[in-house]
A and B are shown apart, each in its own frame.
Chain A
């Protein structure tokens, strides 16, 4: 399958981040046509396109928009989830740095469709470069009359606020993000009510991922048939894949959904030193790992589900045979323990106990009984917390046990750093490593 740069098509133009640069490549023409349409027609177009959320869950975007009650007398809000923090996910930050106006154009069209006059872009605080590039695009768009009052003479008003987070992975969970945006601790809310009915300031709110919103100008501008040329019936469109790990050319590769990991790996220059693929994750640390036997599975929502995992953020992490699965899983659990917001007991306490137990395996002090305890712990956490962080924390260990039980068994007697030399996994060597 060929690469199909759409969102990334003009990233090699250093001026793309400016309004003039974006316009030179056809930017904001979709907005002009969108503002002449009935907002419901735009929702219909996005529904017909079959676009699914690119933030991880894959929920149909048009359907989400249609849940917003109309003529309810309440203000509506659009909130862009730009809190990309999932381990392995690194595609929204590059999009915002390279092509911020695609996001802004998508925000304006989406706000018009859902009848929102106020949009927020919640960007994680640890990436000032993305924050300043997006804020610069907002300023330019405002100065050009693309944001503000009576946009392009249509009577539509929109204000966009760029909001910096402050270092909390949990704020990528949509209801935690809303609490954070309201100036509260970033802890998830119980659903229902869903944000489409009672979101920001208890008003109807659509929350979409950055890449999802960036698809909107292309769908509205080029049409449903054009969009559906890419991908499959259940996973239409293209995807900004970010390939990381032990590959020769890690980076951004945009291709239709349905491309395989083997094809992406080939574009990424193959494995470093031709070492074998040991395990890989299609989209973030929260999805179950796969092995070399799954390299030909199409990267679609449905095929990944059939393989027992999820497409997630579509940002594959690939590890070679120098890496200890026990160590990788332990490190992810240390992350979830650190990022658990503390609201729900199973997640707060569970991540603590799983991590501590895994750290004993890492030191070679695990036991057969504790392997069973870990399985039990993960089972006790799964599905028992407000949000998906608990489920995510309960995912890596069972997935790793499915394919690499022997490694956990070995870690009952041998420290993993003895079985796997850490330096063998480094991407630098010799003098650089001192």
Chain B
């Protein structure tokens, strides 16, 4: 795989981030996935070279982690949580509706290269069940109808906002964020929502507070 000067610089930055080059392997694989929409044998070979390991070792790492895809994802990755909380509270129905809308099943991409569907495990958002993700950005509290609507809007090229995060970009853009997290989007959207504020609001309404101390922490 021929890599550009810019890619080489980014790979070198990732290696320099850690005390040992091998630690950069995971972010490098994310970077590869931001260049192509999958991790290819060529991409792995590049990572292996910069990490100072064999291609076989790098492959064993790439194949261990489920976020590294060994086939093209396409433009948008759609995840629907089917773990116990989300699945039973309605995620199963959401998955069925999205699967029917896209005409593909688990770990499959649509023929037009627009969508990739995955049944995902717990997304650490059980308070917001059922949860869907688009390019790993949160789409909280979805219903079958609202989930399909998100897919429809994305398919029409409309702007779609994450419920707790920025406007949806695409899968490869998110993968670049995972390699280089300072993406300038930290102030976008309304990441702190009603459910995250539920207890604080009740405490304020009812005049509850932690005991004060002499010092401020």
Contact = CB atoms under 8 A, between A and B. Distances in A.
Nearest to B120: A126
Contact of A93 (B29, B66, B88, B124): B124
Interface stretch (A58-66, A218-226, A383-391): A218-226
Contacts of A184: 22, 61
B167 to A, nearest CB: 12
A267 B202 contact: yes
A4 B83 contact: no
A105 B209 CA distance: 22
Interface string A423-434: 101111001111
A273 to B, nearest CB: 14
Interface in B141-197: 143-146, 148, 162, 164-166, 174, 177-179, 181-183, 185-187, 190-192, 194-197
Which residue, A86, A162, A319, A426, has most C-beta atoms of chain B within 10 A? A426
B64 A186 contact: yes
A434 B215 contact: no
A370 to B, nearest CB: 21
By Cβ-Cβ distance, the 10 closest A-B pairs, closest first, are A251-B198, A221-B217, A253-B199, A135-B181, A166-B65, A183-B25, A136-B186, A167-B67, A26-B216, A432-B143
Contacts of A332: 83-84
A5 interface: yes
B123 A185 contact: no
Contacts of A157: none
Interface of A: 2-6, 8-9, 11-12, 14, 16-18, 26, 29-30, 33, 75, 84-90, 92-94, 97-98, 118, 124-129, 131-136, 139, 161-169, 180-186, 201, 217-218, 220-223, 226, 229-230, 238, 241-246, 249-255, 267-268, 285, 315, 317, 319, 323, 327-328, 331-332, 335, 338-339, 341, 422-423, 425-428, 431-434
B60 interface: yes
B45 interface: no
A328 to B, nearest CB: 5
Contacts of A139: 182
Contacts of A133: 186, 191
Given A166-B66, A427-B90, A128 B177 contact: yes
Given A132-B177, A252-B127, A169 B136 contact: no
Contacts of B41: none
B127 A183 contact: no
27 contacts: A5-B199, A11-B197, A11-B200, A12-B197, A18-B187, A29-B215, A85-B121, A90-B128, A93-B125, A98-B192, A128-B136, A129-B162, A129-B165, A132-B177, A161-B18, A167-B66, A183-B20, A184-B22, A186-B64, A217-B217, A241-B199, A249-B195, A251-B194, A267-B198, A317-B126, A328-B84, A427-B90
Contacts of B84: 87, 285, 317, 328, 331-332, 335
B201 interface: yes
B99 interface: no
Which residue, B29, B129, B197, B198, has most C-beta atoms of chain A within 10 A? B198
Contact of A167 (B65, B177, B201): B65
Given A11-B196, A97-B191, A433-B145, A426 B27 contact: no
B199 A251 contact: yes
Nearest to B79: A126
Interface residues of B, number: 90
Interface of B: 17-20, 22-27, 29-30, 51, 53, 60-61, 64-68, 79, 82-85, 87-90, 92-93, 97, 120-130, 133, 136-138, 143-146, 148, 162, 164-166, 174, 177-179, 181-183, 185-187, 190-192, 194-204, 206, 208-211, 213, 215-217
Given A136-B186, A139-B182, A161-B18, A126 B133 contact: yes
Contacts of A93: 124-125
Given A164-B26, A252-B199, A426-B93, A201 B20 contact: yes
B137 A128 contact: yes
A427 B85 CA distance: 11
A129 B191 contact: yes
Contacts of B79: 126
B124 to A, nearest CB: 4
B88 A328 contact: yes
A3 B202 contact: yes
Contact of B53 (A183, A220, A230, A339): A183
Nearest to B164: A129
Contacts of A2: 203, 206, 208
A342 to B, nearest CB: 9
